[in-house]
Amino acid sequence: MSLTTFDTATSAVEKMRAIIARCDELEPRIGAFIHRNAEDALAQAAASDERRAAGKSLGPLDGVIVGVKDLISVKGHPLSCASRILENYVSPYDAHVAEKLKAAGAILWGRLNMDEFAMGSSCETSYFQKTHNPWDLERTPGGSSGGSAAAVAAGMCEIALGSDTGGSIRQPAAYCGIVGLKPTYGLVSRYGLAAFASSLDQIGPMGRTVADCAALLQAMAGHDERDSTSLKLTVPDYMSALAEPEKPVRIGLPKEYYTDGVDPEIRAAVDAAVEFYKSRGCEIKEVSLPHTDYAIPVYYIIAPAEASSNLSRYDGVRYTRRSPDAKTTYEVYCKSRGEGFGSEVKRRILLGSYALSSGYYDAYYLRAQKVRTLIRNDFLKAFEDVDVLLTPTTPHHPFRIGEKVDDPLSMYLEDIFTISVNLAGLPGLSMPCGFSSGGLPIGMQLIGKPLDETTLLKTAKTFEQAHNFKDAHPSL
């Protein structure tokens, strides 16, 4: 029996047709896709059917429909990072993860909406469109991988790829009632991922169940020499680990994450999860991550600093859109970037350039890096006594479209529980653990030791199996 929810019994072409029809019906209300490659996806599906009919299946992902966030290169597909500056760009090559998934027979479907260059928490900074939360169309699906989360929740793909720099897989997963996993920094190669903040970015799966995410991670993880941060290691067999009987673990509750600022319904859902684990024989311990308060300020130095450097390649000269009004070289740079980037991206570039400028580098960037080490050490110390940490994924329920878009600080604060995990390079998983009285999904976060995705996935599976949140679907 397969652990995943992927439908590999139906013909891939039939399944793809049904998904295309579902998108035709729902997309006008949800807006998860920037681009849909229907013909090409049907051709990929036909190839999968042919292979499997000939007894040459490429494995458990053959014929599985995977949505792709619009910052991961797939040869011949458009890639815009939801930005005007890359409006007409087409990827000339496959990202490492695209190569891996193609080799596993997966169908790469569509280009999913996101915040521009992954900067945001609501999909509202996309140049093209806003994405609506399938559970309440007036609310955001979260971000930046909001298109991925909404598409999975609404059944417009079987699973999706997201990326997470400060919470962009986990927060939208929580908001849309699905599972999202940010792997340990270095586990999945970023070759072919448009870089935002290179010391934080990771690609990860967003799916309906823990096993679905494990299966996708299994296919993508592992060393790739084209990403210098890619770790040389043997990838554990996550799927077999999930099939083994559960073992009680030691769970830490960081006291800095259980504060008054958390919505009472979210707090209650997370408390109930803690009680559940206790009933399964897990040891529960309060732990402390004393430098938590510095996580957001540190992130908003480091991430914009790295972004300001990474985004300098979009200059109007090479592959980007060039302003038609530019007459001099200087104008090519200024006008193309001025017209091509949205205001949040400009804000980050300004913040980052300032933090890196001579005279300020030591005071800001270097200092932030030092505090980052303290944040990582907090986690490593906590993990001397516990195996995983359990926290809410977000302090609040999905907010309304338009509610925070003009208030960057309150938008930044949405990532309060996810950002430290990126700064420390740890794996983090968000999964559904309840609903608000208004019917909005609630997510909890499990944080693991470096490269201990196995314990994270197994602990999540224990909870998932005993609850029926994965069977709840938005009524569309």
Query: Catalytic site residues?
Result: 69, 144, 168
Residues 190-229 that bind ligand GLN (CB under 6 A): 196
* Nearest CB to ligand GLN, comparing residues 60 and 166: 166
How many residues bind ligand GLN (CB under 6 A)? The answer is 13
**Residue entry with tokens 């994405």:** 131
Spatial distance between the Cα atoms of 145 and 162, rounded to a whole number of angstroms? 5
Q: Min. distance of Cβ 68 from ligand GLN in angstroms?
A: 16
User: Would you call 216 exposed, middle or buried from its count of C-beta atoms within 10 A (0-12, 13-18, 19+)?
Assistant: buried
- Of these, 136, 415, 452, 464, which contacts ligand GLN (CB under 6 A)? 415
- The CA R_g of the chain, rounded to the nearest whole Å, is 21
Question: Is residue 393 part of the contact set for ligand GLN (CB under 6 A)?
Answer: no
Q: Is 231 helix (H, G, I), strand (E, B) or coil?
A: coil
- Of these, 60, 105, 110, 120, which contacts ligand GLN (CB under 6 A)? 120
Cis peptide before 312 (omega within 30 of 0): no
**405 near 124, Cβ under 8 Å?**
yes
* Nearest CB to ligand GLN, comparing residues 158 and 306: 306
Q: Is 331 helix (H, G, I), strand (E, B) or coil?
A: helix
Task: Give, for 15, the enclosing helix (H) or strand (E).
Answer: helix 12-30
Residues 241-270 that bind ligand GLN (CB under 6 A): none
- Of these, 164, 212, 227, 378, which contacts ligand GLN (CB under 6 A)? 164
Q: Rounded to 5 degrees, what are φ and ψ at 313?
A: -70, -20
- Of these, 37, 80, 121, 394, which contacts ligand GLN (CB under 6 A)? 121
Instruction: Tell me the window of 98-106, 146-154, 164-172, 335-343 that interacts with ligand GLN (CB under 6 A).
Output: 164-172
Residues 90-119 that bind ligand GLN (CB under 6 A): 118-119
* Nearest CB to ligand GLN, comparing residues 97 and 119: 119
Spatial distance between the Cα atoms of 15 and 9, rounded to a whole number of angstroms? 10
Residues 279-338 that bind ligand GLN (CB under 6 A): 303
DSSP 244-308: SPP---EEEEEGGGSSTTS-HHHHHHHHHHHHHHHHTT-EEEEE--TTGGGHHHHHHHHHHHHHH
Q: Min. distance of Cβ 414 from ligand GLN in angstroms?
A: 7
Cis peptide before 144 (omega within 30 of 0): yes
- Of these, 60, 105, 166, 448, which contacts ligand GLN (CB under 6 A)? 166
Q: Min. distance of Cβ 201 from ligand GLN in angstroms?
A: 7
- Of these, 165, 189, 420, 459, which contacts ligand GLN (CB under 6 A)? 165
Residue of 148, 213, 131 lying closest to 179 (CA atoms) = 213
Binding site for ligand GLN (CB under 6 A): 118-121, 144, 164-168, 196, 303, 415
